[in-house]
Structure 1
Amino acid sequence: MSETVRVRLDVSYDGAAFSGWARQRGRRTVQEELEEALRVVTRSDQVFELTVAGRTDAGVHARGQVAHVDLPARVWDEQREALLRRLTGRLPMDVRVRRVSAAPADFDARFSAIWRRYVYRVSDHPGGVDPLRRGHVLWHNWPLDVAAMNAASRPLLGEHDFAAYCKRREGATTIRTLRRLSWERGADGVLEGTVEADAFCHNMVRSLVGALLFVGDGHRSPEWPGQVLARGVRDSAVHVVRPHGLTLEEVGYPADDLLAARNREARNVRTLPAQAGCC
């Protein structure tokens, strides 16, 4: 087998026209666009498969997505100086590779990650969402109480079984560690919900947001989301909000000398099936 180099790609995309990250027959996906661009610019007959930190669902955006690919050392040596520019020239305007770099052999975009941070943006302005931001901000037709939403968020922090807020996948655990869940209103009036965890199961972020919006608009008490979590079963009142308000902002990794240990830990704790999506 020829020698390979593990290459890290830092990626951003507008998810509106994509059917999510993962390849799907007959549908446009971020993975397929990137892998095809890599094949073309490296003049290769083969597709170099990408591994990604978070398999975002259809319509979800990313500012700080991370992927890795193993390229033949010969290809990397030939392309490294020009690869970023060539990808920029080949990719469509709604997906961009922001940085290309050689990574340690133990780096794994998915299993090395120690946290993922998403932000969900929502406006409760009676006049609706700024038309220039309509593809990235949800409009909620009720005034929202940020303090109540933050009070409801606090009992959800820590390690829990989030089965009540996840779409179950066969063979996958729904236990997650929620590191941060907080809301603030910006100067423009748009609410930003920041959600950070070691990882997320399918529909988890959008289900949490749906529950907290019900608290914010007064339809449920601040205790209700925690009660739903404790029951451990899906509640029909928890709505999965639309994907366009959600953006993957950043993925965190440990120091290089801790990558191998992190990979083993993540694989032992959780192995998601290939079709699983987020969030």
Structure 2
Amino acid sequence: MPRVRLDVAYDGTDFSGWAVQPTRRTVAGVLLEALGRLFGADTAFGMVVAGRTDAGVHATGQVCHIELPADAWETTAPTLLRRLAALLPGDVRVHAATEVPDTFDARFSATFRRYHYRVTDAVHGAEPLRRHDTLAWPRRLDPALLNAAAAGLVGEHDFAAFCRRKDNATTVRAINRLEWDRDADGVLVATVQADAFCQAMVRSLVGAMLHVGDGRRPPEWPGSLLRLTARSSEVTVAPAHGLTLVAVGYPAADEFAARAEATRRIRTLSS
């Protein structure tokens, strides 16, 4: 059963997130349906994804892996992308399908996930062709204030104030990049990169920073919430449609297994 890495992009507007749900349209559900039509509905693909995006969140750099019968992979590999393009709806594309070692794990072997969040503070709102991936903010935003707020969130912290807690799961994460830039078209783009994120974390961070960027909170406020041990009711979760998963990073092939083993360990804050 060769293991195959799929690089996937999707417009999350009409999806109820990534994970399969019996009565809802999801990215994984649509993708598995197309694979089933190619390889047989009874094929167990063992799909594992790098990050389960929420309803409405987009991706240009999502990664998952599947396992295929050897003979099926050998015969379909040269034409798989074209066949999937014919079967998948227009809001999902598979950009690459690559055989990888069986030590590769799309989720646990990842070294980082990188997201972009797009916000416009133009008085006329988001441009029509970008309305599905850009949040319209009703107040003027100051990039200097946004970046001052971001500076207090970089590093390894317990992000409990910004996460939806799950039983027996840690909220300790390490953000190694968090910055805002205003594009040539005037849109503000937040780049957020960490080894991993807990549910709603990126949108909660953005929501907190936006309240600094428009002057309603001081720059040190988001960082001050890191001392909390439970989700903060003061933090507004930014809408899903502004968020896009743009990249997932992996180590060299001979480090896949070691990285996966390290990721599976429950992490606590370093002293």
Interval of TM-score (by shorter of Structure 1 and Structure 2): over 0.9
**SS of match in other structure, 1:80:** helix
8 Å contact kept, 1:35–1:47: no
Does residue 34 in structure 1 map to residue 64 in structure 2? no
* 2:177 maps to which of 177, 180, 194: 180
Does residue 83 in structure 1 map to residue 80 in structure 2? yes
CA drift of 1:208 comes to 0.2
**SS of match in other structure, 2:165:** coil
- The sequence identity of aligned pairs, in percent, is 57
| In structure 1, distance between residues paired with 2:14 and 2:46 | 21
| In structure 1, distance between residues paired with 2:68 and 2:34 | 14
**SS of match in other structure, 1:193:** strand
Does residue 253 in structure 1 map to residue 230 in structure 2? no
* 1:140 maps to which of 119, 137, 142: 137
Q: In the TM superposition, what whole-angstrom CA distance separates every residue of 1:173-225 from its partner, at most 9, and x where no partner exists?
A: 10000011100101111000000000000100000000000000000000100
**SS of match in other structure, 1:66:** strand
CA drift of 1:79 comes to 1.2
8 Å contact kept, 1:186–1:192: yes
The code of the aligned residue for 2:166 comes to: R
CA drift of 1:40 comes to 0.4
Please give the root-mean-square deviation of Cα atoms over the aligned residues, in Å.
1.0
Q: How many residues are matched?
A: 267
| In structure 1, distance between residues paired with 2:245 and 2:186 | 21
8 Å contact kept, 2:160–2:228: no
| In structure 2, distance between residues paired with 1:91 and 1:43 | 16
| In structure 2, distance between residues paired with 1:164 and 1:61 | 24
CA drift of 1:228 comes to 1.1
Does residue 194 in structure 1 map to residue 153 in structure 2? no
The alignment's TM-score, normalised by the length of structure 1, stands at 0.94
The alignment's TM-score, normalised by the length of structure 2, stands at 0.96
**SS of match in other structure, 1:82:** helix
Q: In the TM superposition, what whole-angstrom CA distance separates every residue of 1:1-38 from its partner, at most 9, and x where no partner exists?
A: xxx10000000000000000001120000001111101
Q: Which runs of 5+ in 1 are unaligned?
A: 271-279
| In structure 1, distance between residues paired with 2:259 and 2:230 | 30
CA drift of 1:47 comes to 4.3
8 Å contact kept, 2:169–2:266: no
Q: In the TM superposition, what whole-angstrom CA distance separates every residue of 1:209-249 from its partner, at most 9, and x where no partner exists?
A: 00000000000000100111123333322100110000000
* 1:262 maps to which of 259, 263, 268: 259
Map of 2:55 onto structure 1 = 58
